[in-house]
Amino acid sequence: MRKVVISLVTAASILFTTATIDAHATEPVGQVSVQSESSYTYKTVTKVGSTKATAKSGSFKLKYNTNVRRDAGTKNKIVITAKKGSTATATHQKKVGKETWYKVKVSGKSGWVLSTLLTPAKAAAKAPAKKAAPKKAAPKATTQAASGSYTTKYNSNIRSNAGTNNKIVTTAKKGTKVTVSAQKKVGKTTWYKVKANGKTGWVSSDLLAKATKAKAPAKKTKKASNSTFSTDLIANAMKLRGVPYRYGGTTTSGFDCSGFVQYAFKQSGKSIPRATTGQYAATTKVSNPQPGDLVFFAGTYKAGISHVGIYIGNNQFIHSGGKNVHVRSMSDPYWSKYFHSYRSF
């Protein structure tokens, strides 16, 4: 028996298989059929086509860590292994069997990648909307002149400056009379600078009510007018009994002697000097004291006029001394020793 070997070579890749047939048999070999009277061993050549590269463009992302090869086909040398998510720009494509390969540039290298390992890159994200220009800071509130008399609608906090974030200077009780000296805006709220309880500070205009002017009372005789004032003065002074003594004090948190007298007069509608010596200088000596007159003492803790109280009648006076505001007899052993004079405004 003899054997005949037939080889068919194409310009593309070739695949060899081997088979043995009997004589007189007809069998295709690639594109060729061979007959012989004797047995043959032959090789069948199957063509695996690789088309020519054609132009291709587009931007892609790698679906996985991917081998980029020197030419199309898995038998070719690996140029680089590009990481998943890398951007690959295609320039050519060609078929190898049923597979399409793209020539791409990725991570600075050029090579071939199987198309199924790529996914088209998403269109460029839309340009972000322009950010709104930052709001300009609101101009600082400016203080403006203002005037007027008001009363507090409620117990109201008087603050060191306009705005609820500022420190409380004092709390004015409901109905406290305040005089406005300035104003300014904080947001939508108008704040007034006022004086209350002997302290100066700021209060929201929402907490104030315009003081109504009382109608001028019919003229009365001086004696009748003084009698009414004295009654109010003593009533207001007696309400303050028990308020603690505090040196330099002018509020219901604590009074010294002249601070108490000034406060009582103010509550009765009359302004008088602050200090004991000033009150003494503003009054006239009387020998027959009436309720509401002032009584002065000298030498209590220093030489000269040093203490003052309000005469309330029946040989008694009310003052702020010792521990608090209280009533004492003019015959008290201590105070009678330092008595100086009675005086009237």
Active-site hit among 24, 257, 326, 340: 257
Q: Tell me what percent of the chain is helix, strand and coil, each rounded to the nearest 5.
A: 15, 45, 40
Active-site hit among 24, 319, 326, 340: 319
**Per-residue CA distances from 164 to 140, 147, 203, 204, 210 (Å):** 16, 22, 9, 9, 22
> Is residue 259 within 8 Å of residue 243, measured between CB atoms?
no
> Is 92 annotated as catalytic?
no
Residue 258 three-state SS: helix
Active-site hit among 24, 307, 326, 340: 307
Token output for 221: 């005789």
> Is residue 101 within 8 Å of residue 72, measured between CB atoms?
yes
Looking at the DSSP bridge assignments, the partners of residue 111 are 104
Give the H/E segment covering residue 267. Answer: helix 257-267
Burial of 52 (0-12, 13-18, 19+ CB in 10 A): exposed
> Is residue 146 within 8 Å of residue 102, measured between CB atoms?
no
CB-based contacts of 41: which residues, under 8 Å, 6+ apart? Answer: 3, 4, 5, 18, 19, 20
> Is 24 annotated as catalytic?
no
Round to whole Å and give the CA distance between 90 and 344. 110
Give the chain's largest Cα–Cα span. Answer: 171
Handedness of CA 29, 31, 33, 34 (dihedral sign): negative
> Is 319 annotated as catalytic?
yes
Cα angle value 41/42/46 (rounded, 5°): 155
Active site residues: 257, 307, 319
